Amino acid sequence: MTAWDVFLQQVINGVSLGAMYSLLALGFTMVYGIIELINFAHFNVFMMGSFFALWALQAMGFVGQSHILYGLPLAGVLLLALLATMLGSGVLGVAIERFTLRPLRGVRGTAPMITTIGLSFILYNIILLGAGADSKNYANPLPNTAWMISGGATLRLREVLLWVVSLLLMLGLHYFVRFTKMGKAMQATAQDQEAARMVGIDVDKVVVITFFLGSALAGAAGLIFGLYYNYTSYIIGYQAGLRAFTAAVLGGIGNIPGAMLGGVIIGLIESLGGQYIAVRWTDVIIFSLLVLVLVFRPTGLIGRAAPTRS
């Protein structure tokens, strides 16, 4: 492979990773936009989502990558798995909001954030204790079809599929937020919660729906992770979380298009950084980027109001 091929391959990888991080960052940034809460538990909802999807696929009879499907059956199976995880994760997110975060609404300071740290621990330890620390081989019906492009780099079917699914989900969310009544209510609540109440918006309901949608997207990202890497484990939330978080901050926390852009950038940094610098330094690079953005440009690349009010 020529140097150009290597580069192109890493770009492809980066975009795939980026799609996943975008979905994760989206849900996270939506919640922050509405209730100004940094929800650590979000990334373990993602992890749980990937398990929900795994169990759904296993329930449909798939074990590992032995059973391959094509065409319509493939689409059907994937759709079912997607629905299972989005529903499961969405409900999980709503439960978290309802029972642990709503009682703390209005409490000053970092108590809500500390609670999400606790929830995060609870979630991944449930999986760790229940399912074990080993990586689970993912039930994956995707074929290994790939195309050669530009001589050396390959583009796999699964990548195209994942890009398409992510894009559809993001467009769906965008459409929902921009054009539906509930979506406008979400925008209004994010811009001014009191004013939203004053035009008759049920803010509690808006929060619940935001959590549901955000968590559902996280679940979808979980399925994508499993299909892409062929494994899942209790620790993936923790690892992906940092990257998705940085993506959200990079794009401007609370900003939906920003989260999408940020996700792709982080994905590219991870793949290109891993290739040209070293994999073991990727974490440091991304964390340093996070710190730099927060210190020097807290509004993010396209963000809105700066997070420096006391």
Partner 1 sequence: MHTSVEQQTLLQRRPPLLEFKGVNTYYGELHVLKGVDYRVGQGEIVCLLGGNACGKSTTMKTILGIVTPKSGEVVYAGETINKLATADRVKRGIAPVPEARRLFPRMTVLENLEMGAFTRNDTAEIEADKERVFGLFPRIKERLKQVAGTLSGGEQQMVAMGRALMARPKLLCMDEPSMGLAPSVVEQVFDIIQEINRQGTSIFMVEQNANMALSIADYGYVLQTGVVVLEGSAQSLRDNEMVQQAYLGEMKAQ
Partner 2 sequence: MPEPHLEPSETTPPAAMIRLHSWIPAIRDRAKSERFRPWLYGLILLFALAFPYIDGNEGDIDSAANALAYAMLALGLNIVVGFAGLLDLGYAAFFAIGAYTYGAFSSYQMQPEWSSFWVPLQWLGLVQHLTPDGGIGTVHFAVSFWLMIPVSALVAACFGVVFGAPTLRLKGDYLAIVTLGFGEIVPIVARNWPYVTNGAQGLSGVTTPKLFGYDFSVLSTPYYYLGLVMIVFLIFVSTRLKHSRIGRAWLAIREDEIAAEAMGVNRTRLKLLAFAIGASFAGSTGTFFVAKLQTASPEMFMFPVSVMLLVMIVLGGIGSVAGVVVGALVLQLLQSWFLQDLTQWIHALGNLTGIVFLQQLDLVQSIELIFGIILVFMMLYRRQGIIPERAAVTALSYDEQNAMPSRRSIEARLAPLHRRTIDPSKPILEIKDLAKSFGGIHAVAGIDLSVMPGTIVGIIGPNGSGKTTFFNLITGLTDPDRGKILLEGEDITGLKPHRVVEKGIARTFQNLRLFSNMTVLENALVGTHTRTSTGAIGAVLRLPRTRREETAARDRALEILRIFGNRLIPRVQHLAHSLSYANRRRLEIARALVSEPVVVLLDEPTAGMNPTETLELSDQIRSLRDRGVTVLMIEHKLAVVNEIADKVVVLDHGEKIAEGTPKEIHSNKEVLRAYLGRTTDAIAEAATAS
Closest to partner 1 by CB, 79 vs 105, is: 105
Query: Should residue 181 be labelled a site residue for partner 2 when binding is judged by CB under 8 A?
Result: no
User: Taking CB within 5 to 8 Å according to partner kind, which of partner 1, partner 2, none is near residue 201?
Assistant: partner 1
Chain centre to alpha carbon of residue 211: 13
Query: Should residue 307 be labelled a site residue for partner 2 when binding is judged by CB under 8 A?
Result: yes
Residues touching partner 1, count (CB under 8 A): 18
Residue 18 · residue 263 · CB < 8 Å: yes
Give the Cα separation of 149 and 144 in Å (integer): 16
User: Taking CB within 5 to 8 Å according to partner kind, which of partner 2, partner 1, none is near residue 148?
Assistant: none
Closest to partner 1 by CB, 67 vs 304, is: 304
Ranges assigned E (strand) in the chain: 136-137, 146-149, 153-156, 231-232
Determine if residue 150 is left, alpha or beta; phi over 0 gives left, psi from -120 to 50 gives alpha, anything else beta: left
Residue 50 · residue 226 · CB < 8 Å: yes
Selected binder of partner 2 within 68, 149, 277, 291 (CB under 8 A): 291
Query: Should residue 5 be labelled a site residue for partner 2 when binding is judged by CB under 8 A?
Result: no
- DSSP helix/strand/coil, 151: coil
Closest to partner 1 by CB, 198 vs 277, is: 198
**Residues between 209 and 268 with contacts to partner 2, criterion CB under 8 A:** 238, 242, 245, 249
Give the Cα separation of 81 and 87 in Å (integer): 10
Residue 18 CB neighbour total at 10 angstroms: 28
Residue 74 · residue 141 · CB < 8 Å: yes
Give the Cα separation of 175 and 166 in Å (integer): 14
Closest to partner 2 by CB, 150 vs 282, is: 282
Quick note: the x/- pattern for partner 1 over 179-198, rule CB under 8 A, is --x--xx-xx--xx-xxxxx
Residues forming the site for partner 1 (CB under 8 A): 181, 184-185, 187-188, 191-192, 194-203, 304
Residues forming the site for partner 2 (CB under 8 A): 37-38, 100, 103-104, 106-115, 117-123, 125-126, 128-129, 238, 242, 245, 249, 280-281, 283-284, 287-288, 290-291, 294-295, 298, 307-310
